[in-house]
Chain A
Amino acid sequence: MRRRALAAAFPYTIPIFAGFWFLGLAYGIYMNVSGFSFVYPMLMSLTIFGGSLEFVAVTMLLGAYAPLQTFIMTLMIQARHLFYGISMLERYKGTGWKKPYLIFGMCDESFSINYSAEIPPGVDRGWFMFFVTLLNHFYWFSGATIGGIVGSLLSFDTEGLDFVMTAMFVVIFLEQWLKEKRHETALIGVAASAACLYLFGADSFMIPTMLCILCLLTVFRRPLERKGGLE
């Protein structure tokens, strides 16, 4: 049962392997050249497991000690996980002891795969999602650690490889689009984020975006539910 779930899960994680090794290495190297031992990226990738925050955390560690600011910043960067949790309430049900780990490891990529993947019949859902999460966690951890160890010895001729993450989210977005009969919610997501990005800038548009999406979904709940097609 476990082997079949692993075999089914692995192909979905290959793009994440490429992306996480690239970003993880970059992150480890960044910490290394900022003067931190490889123990830092190793432990941080293991315990935080959230790429964008870990990059910001380097700046926090280099700056003055400001615990309250660190905590608020963390909540703001990571707030989107609240949405993932709400979406996964049903899907993580009945996964037993694996559930706490599934929630712990629910980064953007684990959430996206575990929400959208078509799990083949005969494959245990819980184990499938567990392996997706575990593999992703391992890719990020190993990439960050190796980056921290080898540091600036590596020369990068892999410019542009980070696009693998963008391409993956484009494909997942497209799959969702092809699957659903109506596209209002997808369009709300794109339009709200694009508008907020334009208004608030790259560093502070996520919270306004989320509020915007919440408001629009609340206001249009009746028509959206009446028309059906919400998967």
Chain B
Amino acid sequence: MTLSQQIITIALCVLGTMLTRFLPFLIFSGKRPTPAFVRYLGKALPAAIFGMLVVYCLRNVEWTPFPGGIPEAVSIAVTVLLHLWRRQMLLSIAGGTACYMLLVQAVF
């Protein structure tokens, strides 16, 4: 690739990304009232998105052979339990991550 071809490639990545980020705001600008269906989606989507993002983070986990997704499963359990116990976001994240690092570096 020549330099200008590289610049075009990167520019297209920027353009495509910005299109997906700005499009809803451009379509549903403040001038017209947002359709009821889109407002409904705005409320119903986030919980589904957060679930989707968790799965997205785990997409490259190989479930077989052993130990498969055990470090991930254990660390997620630790994160959830810590969070239910103290409800301190940073503590839960740090604890879960430390657990995962320990498991992949020292145990499995």
Contacts and interface: CB of A to CB of B under 8 A. Distances in A.
28 contacts: A11-B90, A15-B89, A44-B10, A47-B14, A80-B52, A81-B20, A82-B20, A83-B49, A86-B38, A86-B42, A87-B41, A87-B49, A104-B18, A159-B101, A160-B105, A163-B100, A166-B58, A167-B97, A167-B100, A169-B53, A171-B79, A172-B50, A188-B51, A193-B51, A197-B55, A213-B45, A217-B48, A231-B43
A176 B13 contact: no
A106 B21 contact: yes
Interface of A: 11-12, 14-15, 18, 40, 43-44, 47-50, 53-54, 57, 60-61, 64-65, 67, 70-71, 74-75, 78-90, 92-93, 99, 103-104, 106, 108, 112, 115-116, 157-161, 163-177, 180, 183, 185-190, 192-194, 197, 202, 205-206, 209-210, 213-214, 217-218, 221, 224-225, 230-231
**Main SS at interface, chain B:** helix
A87 B76 CA distance: 26
Contacts of B39: 89-90
B70 interface: no
Contacts of A193: 51-52, 55-56
B54 to A, nearest CB: 5
B37 to A, nearest CB: 8
Pairs of residues from A and B, 3 with the lowest C-beta to C-beta distance, nearest first: A189-B51, A74-B16, A189-B48
